[in-house]
Every structure is written in structure tokens, then in C-alpha cells.
Chains A and B, each alone.
Chain A
Amino acid sequence: DVKVTQSSRYLVKRTGEKVFLECVQDMDHENMFWYRQDPGLGLRLIYFSYDVKMKEKGDIPEGYSVSREKKERFSLILESASTNQTSMYLCASTGPRGKLFFGSGTQLSVL
């Protein structure tokens, strides 16, 4: 079965901390995405990557960076977490016929 794994389901961090959200897919997909989900705003694209070491900004990249050193792993980094980054974060990758496969999400709370 297709699998996209996010390392944490719930995470609580303090303002100013550096936060790493990890995502691993086992399907040899080239494209990987990080979304942020907030009530009433749907899913908003933070960054995506179409190959190892390649990255593209999405609609809301400010305050975030990403890393893709290996094809299967796509990390989202919050350099200095702020309270307005409290949200649900979803990782996804695209498979055959362009379908998006999602991880189960990380609910991040920044206090």
C-alpha cells in the first residue's frame, strides 16, 4: 500500500524554537508538498519539491523553509516558531495519474 508518513501527529513547541516536521514516502514519487490547513481557509501550499534538492515556494512560504536531501524525505522547517504558525500541517506526494497521497497530518501548537 501507498504510504506517506509524518513523524509526529501532535507537537507542542515554544515561541522562538526551531521546529522540524518530517515526511517520508515509500512510493518513489518525485513531487512532494507541504500544506497548511486552517479552518475556513482550506489547504494552502507552503512549499513543494519536484526533485531531490529542488524546491519551489508555494502561496505562503514566509517563515518556513524546506529540505529534500533524499527522494523519499521532505522536511519542513520553522526557523523560529511563532504563535501564528499553530496549525495542522499536511505532507503529500503525487503518484500515478497525478493523485495526491497525504500523510495523516501534524497538529502543531506554538505556545
Chain B
Amino acid sequence: AQTVTQSQPEMSVQEAETVTLSCTYDTSESDYYLFWYKQPPSRQMILVIRQEAYKQQNATENRFSVNFQKAAKSFSLKISDSQLGDAAMYFCAYRSPLTGNQFYFGTGTSLTVIP
């Protein structure tokens, strides 16, 4: 099975500053999808951003962007102009189209935003 590693259990950032959450994964597949999900205290998982492996261009969604390094198997999330509402647990996920569309999740990074 594919493995997804988030090496930062906790991170903090000052409001309005920028923070980067790291994620690495292990796979032998060439075609796959990567995601970042956010889980606020409400526990509802929310999709933040999605990246297709065949696309070289990094995905961007407003203040959220990724740095996708396919050769290095790295997929970091950058949050710009951090807001209090960004405080949450963030999960990196890998989706394999070859194994029944299973998703594999990292262990999560808890982000605190300091006012």
C-alpha cells in the first residue's frame, strides 16, 4: 500500500503570515491524485486543494497553493495570509486509481493560528 507521511504533528503561524505544511508519499505509480483536506473543530472534513500527478503546474486555490515535486514525491501546502479560520487539522491524501480508487491519508498536522 502507498504510504503518506506528514512529519509535522503540530505547526503554528502568526495571523497574516505564511506557513508551509509538508507531505511526502511513497508510490511506484505514475498516475495518481493528491489532496489536502482540512478538519476544523467541527470535525467536518473539507477539501482544500487537489493535484493531478500528470500536471506539472502547481494547483492554487485562493490563499492555498501547493508545491508538487513529483520526482521527490513531495506535496507541500502553503497557506498565505493566514486567518484564524485556518486553524484546523490538515491531512494530506493520496488517491490510487489502480487500487479501487482507495485514498491513503497521512497522520495529520495540527495548525494553530496565533492572533
Contacts and interface: CB of A to CB of B under 8 A. Distances in A.
A31 B44 CA distance: 19
Given A40-B107, A41-B107, A104 B101 contact: no
Contact of A99 (B50, B97, B106): B50
A61 interface: no
A88 B102 contact: no
Contacts of A97: 50
Given A90-B45, A104-B42, A50 B91 contact: no
Given A59-B1, A99-B47, A100-B47, A42 B35 contact: no
Interface of A: 31, 33, 35, 40-45, 48, 50, 56, 58-59, 88, 90, 92, 94, 97-100, 102, 104-105
A-B CB proximity, top 7 nearest: A102-B45, A42-B107, A43-B105, A42-B105, A105-B43, A104-B44, A42-B108
